[in-house]
Amino acid sequence: MEKKVFERTKGLTEILMRYCPGCGHGVIHRLVAEVIEELGIRKRTIGIAPVGCSVFADEYFNCDMIQPAHGRGPAVATGMKRVKPDCIVFSYQGDGDLASIGMAETIHSAARGERITIIFVNNAIYGMTGGQMAPTTLIGMKSTTTPFGRDPRVAGYPIKICELLSSLEAPAYLARVSVHKPALVLKAKKAIKKAFQVQMDDLGFSLVEIISPCPTDWFVTPLQAIDYVEKKMIPYFPLGEFKTPEGKKEPLKAETQKVVEKV
């Protein structure tokens, strides 16, 4: 008897992905899709595709999908979750989308404690437009708009999203993971699952930042890209959980009454 040890997850469609060799999106898509399937929520999950390389996520994830404007995912997710509280809503975004043009939507949806899940892929570059500087591009890193390397006096410093959002009251789960090594891929999946679980338990906002290689726009080979993640990106963007739902078993409650009494 042959035993099936590996199969395609139902969380993905059968459309072939068009990501570059060595890109992290394929792995991350698969992890998210597996989590959705394993949690048994595929038929009530709505995904939001970003603008960027993963704009095609709306073809790849095998659930209801929407494709809004650059950076607006968390606002769209807010609207969806508020009118469909029983649905699971996730927004898949890159660094330009989430940490640059959509920074306001990111911070405010987190501050409001929207019951949504954000999958934030940080590859330190604008991929689809051809390798321009991103808000997470490292100091000294070359891009098509920092041809001599990112100079902090001109272009400032890369933004650490998990650390930034940690200062807020409402987020229930914030974690940074990486997919450049098999062992870390498994850890990444655990974090993604936890983030979705937090939403299912109605505990609040959850975001997983995933460090991902982009050999094409870093102008290196896939192996060199993995090396770059290990030696340059991880030291600046340390992995780990920044906020966990432990001790936060109750959903946020309205405190309007109290405030009125105090006044």
Tell the smallest beta-carbon distance from residue 163 to other proteins (Å).
Answer: 21
Using CB under 8 A, pick the residue from 80, 124, 175, 239 that binds other proteins.
Answer: 80
C-alpha torsion 46→49→54→55, nearest 10: 130
Question: Would you state the structure tokens that stand for residue 228, as one six-digit string?
Answer: 């770059």
Question: Would you state the structure tokens that stand for residue 194, as one six-digit string?
Answer: 């936890």
Contact region with other proteins (CB under 8 A), list: 102-110, 155-163, 223-231, 234-242: 102-110
CA-CA distance, 49 to 32, in Å (whole number)?
A: 13
Using CB under 8 A, pick the residue from 10, 79, 181, 221 that binds other proteins.
Answer: 79
Tell the smallest beta-carbon distance from residue 158 to other proteins (Å).
Answer: 23
Q: Does 115 bind other proteins (CB under 8 A)?
A: no
Question: How many CA atoms are closer than 13 Å to the CA of 58, on its beta-carbon side?
Answer: 11
Helix 73-83 crosses helix 103-112 at what angle (to 10 degrees)?
30
In terms of Cα–Cα distance, which of 107, 92, 88 is closest to 51? 92
Using CB under 8 A, pick the residue from 17, 20, 55, 170 that binds other proteins.
Answer: 55
Contact call for residues 141 and 149 (beta carbons, < 8 A): yes
Residue with smaller CB distance to other proteins, 51 or 184: 51
Q: Does 259 bind other proteins (CB under 8 A)?
A: no
Using CB under 8 A, pick the residue from 92, 94, 97, 105 that binds other proteins.
Answer: 105
Sites of contact with other proteins (CB under 8 A) = 13, 42-44, 46, 48-49, 55, 58-59, 62-69, 72, 75-84, 86-87, 104-105, 107-108
